Amino acid sequence: MNIDLETIKSKKTLKELLEFSIINIDKPSGPTSFSVDLIIKNALNLKKTSHFGTLDPMVTGVLPVALSRACRLMPYFIGKTKTYIGIMRIHEEISEKKLREEIKNFIGTITQLPPVKSRVKREERQREVYRFEILEVSENKKDILFLAEVEAGTYIRKLISDLGEKIQGAHMLELRRIQASIFQENKSYTIYEFLEAVGEYKKGNKECENQLREMLIPGEIISEVLPVLQVKKQYINKLYHGSPLFKEYIGNLEKAKELKIDEKIAVFNEDKFIGTFRIIKSERILATPEFVLQPIK
C-alpha cells in the first residue's frame, strides 16, 4: 500500500507533528546551516533539530531541517542527489562553444580534492556529476549562469575552480541549491515565513496553526526514499521491545524477496511508521532494527 502523507498529517496533533517531522527551509545568504537549526529549535522550544546536507553561509536554497525524533532519519536522506544553479565568472574570454565542450569533460565520474576549509579529510575522492550545463551567458560574456546536478558531497565551488584550470581561470559568484534528495525549492519556506507562522501560533491564532502545520512534513516521508514493508499488527510491540524483524512478521513477504543484504527499509503497519531496519536474510530473520520510533507515553 502507498503511504498517504496528507492523511497522516491530518490525523496528528501539532504537538505530535513537532515530535517527528521535517521543515524544508529556504536558507538565506549569511547564516550558517547550524544557525538555521538553532533558530528553528529555539522558536519551537525543541530539544533537537538537525539539517540534511550543510550549505556554506553564502549559499542559499533548500535546507531540510529535521525536528526532534526525525533527526534520526538524517542518514537516509543526506547521501542523495543535489541540484544547484549558480553564476560563475570566467577570467579570460572564451567562445561559448569552447566553454560548453570543456564543461562536458566534467560530466560523469570526476575526482575532487575537498577545499582546505571543508570539514572532511583532504584526500581525493570520486563523485558523480549527472548534469553540468550553461543556462545563460551575460552580455559581457564573462558571467555564466549554470546548473549542476551532482552526487551528494560534490563541492560546486571546487568544480568551478577545476573547470577554471582548463580555461585560464573561473570562480563562483553565487550559488543556490534548488533540490536536495526529494526536497524541492518550490516547496520550501523562508525563515521569515516560518517565524511569522510560529509567532501567530503562539498567540493562539488557530488559522496560523494551520499555516505552521502546512510547513511540516511528517517523518513518514521516509517511505519515499526507502522500500516499505508492512508488518502485521500483532507483532508491533515485539518490534518496540527490540525484536529483529522475523519473516513471519511481514505481510508482504513476496516484496521482501527483491531486497538485497544490507539494504535499508522502512517498516509500517498500514500508515503507522514503526522504524527502519537493515536486511540480513537469515533463515528466520529478515532484518535487524536501526531506528524504532517508540510511541510517546
Residues marked active site are found at 56
On the CB side of 97, CA atoms within 13 Å amount to: 0
Question: What SS3 state is found at 39?
Answer: helix
Question: What SS3 state is found at 11?
Answer: helix
Residue 164 phi, psi (nearest 5): -60, -30
Q: Give the residue among 248, 261, 256 at the shortest CA–CA distance from 227.
A: 256
C-alpha distance from residue 289 to each of 190, 245, 264 (Å): 36, 7, 10
DSSP character for 85? E
Q: Give the residue among 221, 223, 249, 247 at the shortest CA–CA distance from 235.
A: 249
Q: Give the residue among 28, 25, 32 at the shortest CA–CA distance from 57.
A: 32
Q: Is the dihedral of CA 222, 225, 231, 235 positive or negative?
A: negative
CA angle 43, 21, 175 (to 5 degrees): 75
CA 85 – CA 97 distance, rounded (Å): 20
